[in-house]
Amino acid sequence: MNASKLWTWTLTAAGILQIGMAIAHFGLQYEWRGVDGGSLPSQLLWALLALNFSWSTLVLLIGGLTIYAGRLDPRAASIRALVLIVAVFWTIHGIYMVVEPMPVPPRLAWIEAPIVAFPATLILLHAIALRSTRRRAGITAPAAA
């Protein structure tokens, strides 16, 4: 597979995964509607749901931008910077998930592996895209018109 097709396909896959994660988190909003927060103050429950909604919106938009970036010239510095920034975001997120794993009941212990594998997969896809299209000696980006 040539470098530009690898760029397009890896970023498309990463974007689809991110959009899927966003949709799943929007689904949590629906599932948690009317949940009794127990001893959790209502303001804190609201803040939790507001943060989840905002995070879901950002991940949805980043997924769309990632797919769009896959359709653009991989030699453009701003596009490469966008892909790198998204990779850094998922790297930081992944590290946090390893260092501070989500507390889950024993019956949901299986979910810990996918929670870590998700950002790892996204990091890998972004890295493949960037590495497959990095500039080589003698290759320059076209001049701006």
pLDDT above 90: residue 140: no
Give me the chain's average pLDDT, please.
Answer: 90
Cα–Cα distance measured from residue 98 to residue 133, given in angstroms and rounded to the nearest whole number: 30
CB neighbours of residue 119 within 10 Å: 22
Lookup result for tokens 């970023």: 11
CB neighbours of residue 126 within 10 Å: 24
pLDDT digit string, tens, across residues 42-100: 888 889 889 999 999 999 999 999 999 999 999 999 999 999 999 999 999 999 999 99
**Band of residue 131 on the pLDDT scale cut at 50, 70, 90:** very high
Is-contact 120 94, C-beta < 8 A? yes
Locate 138 and state its tokens.
Answer: 């003698």
**Band of residue 29 on the pLDDT scale cut at 50, 70, 90:** confident
Domain count, the chain: 1
Is residue 13 situated within a structural domain?
yes
Amino acid found at 44: L
Total residues found in the chain within this entry: 145
Is residue 144 situated within a structural domain?
no
Q: Residue 36: which domain range?
A: 3-132
Rounded to an integer, the average pLDDT of 98-127 is 95
CB neighbours of residue 28 within 10 Å: 13
Is residue 143 situated within a structural domain?
no
Is residue 38 situated within a structural domain?
yes
Q: What is the pTM of this model?
A: 0.85
Amino acid found at 56: S
Is residue 57 situated within a structural domain?
yes
Q: What is the structure's pLDDT at 2? A: 67
Q: What is the structure's pLDDT at 1? A: 64
